[in-house]
Amino acid sequence: MTRILGISGSLRRASFNTALLRTAQGLMPDGSTLTQGSIADIPLYNADDELAHGVPEAVETLKAQIEEADGLLLFSPEYNNSIPGVFKNAIDWTSRPAGDISRVYGAKPVAVLGASPGGFGTILSQDSWLSVLRTLGTRPWWSGRLMLARAGNVFDEEGRMTDEVMRKRLEKFLTGFVAFAATPTD
């Protein structure tokens, strides 16, 4: 069984990226699962707080989920042509203490996908993630890219994907990523 962890980088209740993640959960190929991780309870990073109180429980939970997963999918919105601060903050916390980076992220198969109400999808956010993923020592999947533009036309009011063409693209993306994540590295 290939276990994939998906994290939505939005806190909004009606988030298009969370809707994309939930749709993906129902489209996973046979022999794989997609579990949803959460950044909702992760505080702003402050080294003084870390020194005084250690790593918060919500961060330790997310770190354990990342470590246990065979692959990681980042469902990333795009804010001001880049990574949402709340999402970057959560990933920064999961890299603390620095000695844990290789255990949590080392050679972890990872891909970024995202949904946006705008016309360009999340191309700039996805590009911004590349240096972060390189720094963390992940194994990015270069063969697939999924950017969902004009998301308001793809999901209904309850967050259900109504666009069959996009559903098939998402299913193909997931199949490719799961195969990549299941491939052992030397």
List residues bridging with 110 in a β-sheet.
72, 140
Ramachandran angles phi, psi of 176, nearest 5°: -65, -45
Lookup: tokens for 24: 């993906």
**How many distinct structural domains can be found in the chain?**
1
Q: pLDDT digit string (tens) for 47-81?
A: 999 999 999 999 999 999 999 999 999 999 999 99
DSSP letters of the chain?
-EEEEEEE----TT-HHHHHHHHHHTTPPTTEEEEEE--TTPPPP-HHHHHHH-S-HHHHHHHHHHHH-SEEEEE---BTTB--HHHHHHHHHHT-SGGGHHHHHTT-EEEEEEE-SSTTTTHHHHHHHHHHHHHTT-EE--S--EEE-SGGGTB-TTS-B--HHHHHHHHHHHHHHHHHHHS---
In sequence order, the 6+-apart residues with CB closer than 8 A to the CB of 99 are: none
- pLDDT at position 186 is 65
Looking up residue 65, the CATH number of its domain turns out to be 3.40.50.360
Q: What are 178's strand-pairing partners? A: none
- What's the domain range around 161? 2-182
Residues 6+ apart with CB under 8 A from 123: 78, 147
Report d(CA 55, CA 53) in Å as an integer. 7
pLDDT tens-digit map of 109-160 = 999 999 999 998 999 999 999 999 999 999 999 988 899 999 999 999 999 9
Question: Other CB atoms closer than 10 Å to residue 82's CB: what's the count?
Answer: 14
Cα separation, 136 vs 138, in Å, equals 6
Residues 16-40: pLDDT tens digits?
999 999 999 999 999 999 999 999 9
115 forms bridges with which residues in the sheet? 148
Min mean pLDDT across 2-6, 19-23, 123-127, 181-185 is at: 181-185
